[in-house]
Amino acid sequence: MERSHEFDLCIVVDDDEDILMAARMLLRGLFAEVVTVRTPQEAMPLLARKPEVVLLDANFARGATDAAEGLAWLDRMLLADPDLVVVMITAHAGVQIAVAAMKRGATDFVSKPWANERLLATVRTAAMLRRSRSAVSTERGKVATVASSGTGETPLLGDAPAMARVHSLIARAGPTDANVLILGENGTGKELVARALHRASLRAERAMVTVDLGAISEELIDSELFGHLKGAFTDARADRVGRIEAADGGTLFLDEIGNLPLHLQPKLLTALEQRKVTPVGANKPVPVDIRVIAATNMSRDRLTDEGHFRQDLLFRLNTVEIDLPPLRERREDIPLLVAHFLALYARRYDRPPPELSDGARAALMAHDWPGNVRALRHAVERAVILSNGGPLQPDDFPLSASAPRVPVTALTAATPAEAGDLNLDRAEKRMVEEALRKHGYNISLAAAELGLSRAALYRRMEKHGL
């Protein structure tokens, strides 16, 4: 079973192919992608991808030992991205060079030949620093909410009676400071409802800070929400503003609130009741002024079970409750959504919007859409990309019937053709599909069974067009 990764991208710059190979092998368990290049010139365009860490050699010219070239490239990289986290690679006795690099903005250094444990610890700490810088920069900066017009964000479309109730609740609750709990299956548009509530509020000109509690490891949730002081724990090398404090004056959106561990629920309840947060390692609370919107795909039975979720916290969160209907319960909205997505992806891929045949429209409306609007969006995008210019037919959409719910490890359930198929990509796609179907497209449960984080599962869904 494939392990999930803590971080997304690391770039290693060194002119020694053996060093690059060793770094790739060692760091691939920590990062989803390790990109290695032999010159700083090759690395510069890659900075636009916002790597968590850049490992940069100090010397590139043959016989050079003064690190002049490496330090010059360090300056250029930090000029291109002031928040970049760079770890210098120095010769074994390069302490003076390491000190000079850190004075010029490097985060840390490692010496060649390195000890694997030392390199891993250094790079992990550096990646956490990058994550902290990015969060503070985003959350203390401009308003995080972007209006849907002129962007790729899907508007909250729908005229079905169930959606009319949702729009009515948004219109009535939006201008107030009441806490709102949004319930609904994955892919129904819970974040869109949260953004609509924020736009309708008196806080619309301030930030809406989103915390996806399903994508943060349990060990980091406390620090993510409440922040920490330098030295509060081993990797706390600088003060960090928590997401709750960063939302001061605006809206805090707690996505997948059902994933908040039980032992942290009392702390969140206290913060919401007292409107104060205490960072990890601090003794003095910080006052905050926030409006809280929470969302979960957890069933109502599980949410009202004291063994999974504190009822006093639930009462604090659901002053107003909005229940988003699954797409199968508002099929009359499917043509409107399809027309929107066809136009959206035709513009994105610079091609004329394809027509939809009557047969395709009927097939789309008859499908149950276990992944809801998100699955419909992906299906339409795929159809636009693969369109040959004629009207879209039912076969242009992935509308296969839902498979029976069987364990994803039951490879014997595959068809005879699949059973002999040893292609790893196709096998991975089948297992992801099976896990999603088994758990009714509940991302958290499917990810847990596959042994992945939610973020890693989303990456695989995108990779395989799911």
pLDDT at position 294, please?
96
Exposed, middle or buried, 273 (CB in 10 Å: 0-12/13-18/19+)?
exposed
CB-CB contact of 124 with 102 (8 Å): no
Distance from chain centroid for Cα 422: 30
Closest CA to 77 of 47, 111, 109, 115: 47
Closest CA to 89 of 63, 70, 104, 76: 70
- Each residue's pLDDT tens digit in the chain (466 positions)? 344 677 899 999 998 888 899 899 899 889 999 999 999 999 999 999 999 999 999 888 666 677 788 899 999 998 888 888 999 888 754 667 877 787 788 888 888 878 888 888 889 888 887 876 665 555 444 333 333 333 345 678 888 999 999 999 999 999 999 999 999 998 999 999 999 999 999 998 888 888 888 877 777 888 888 887 877 666 666 777 888 988 889 999 999 999 899 999 999 999 999 999 988 888 888 899 999 999 999 888 888 888 889 999 999 999 999 999 999 999 999 999 999 999 999 998 888 889 999 999 999 999 999 889 999 998 999 999 988 888 999 999 988 644 333 333 433 344 444 555 667 777 888 888 888 877 766 776 777 778 776 666 776 776 777 7
Q: 3-state DSSP call for residue 84?
A: coil
Burial 400-430 (b: 16+ CB within 10 A, else e): eeeeeeeebeeeeeeeeeeeeeeeeeeeebb
The continuous run of DSSP H or E covering 163 comes out as helix 161-173
pLDDT at position 92, please?
53
CB-CB contact of 58 with 79 (8 Å): no
pLDDT at position 452, please?
73
**Which residues, including other chains, have CB under 8 Å from residue 153's CB and lie 6 or more apart?**
146, 192, 195
CB-CB contact of 73 with 56 (8 Å): yes
Q: What global pTM score does this model have?
A: 0.58
> Encoding tokens for residue 113?
């030949």
The residues facing 109 across adjacent strands are 88
pLDDT at position 143, please?
34
> Encoding tokens for residue 160?
């079905």
Tell me the C-alpha to C-alpha distance, in Å, between residue 348 and each of 132, 187, 335, 385: 32, 21, 20, 10
Closest CA to 438 of 463, 402, 462, 413: 402
What is the rounded distance in angstroms from the CA atom of residue 122 to the CA atom of residue 446?
32
Q: How many CA atoms lie within 13 A of 388 on its CB side?
A: 4
Q: 3-state DSSP call for residue 308?
A: coil
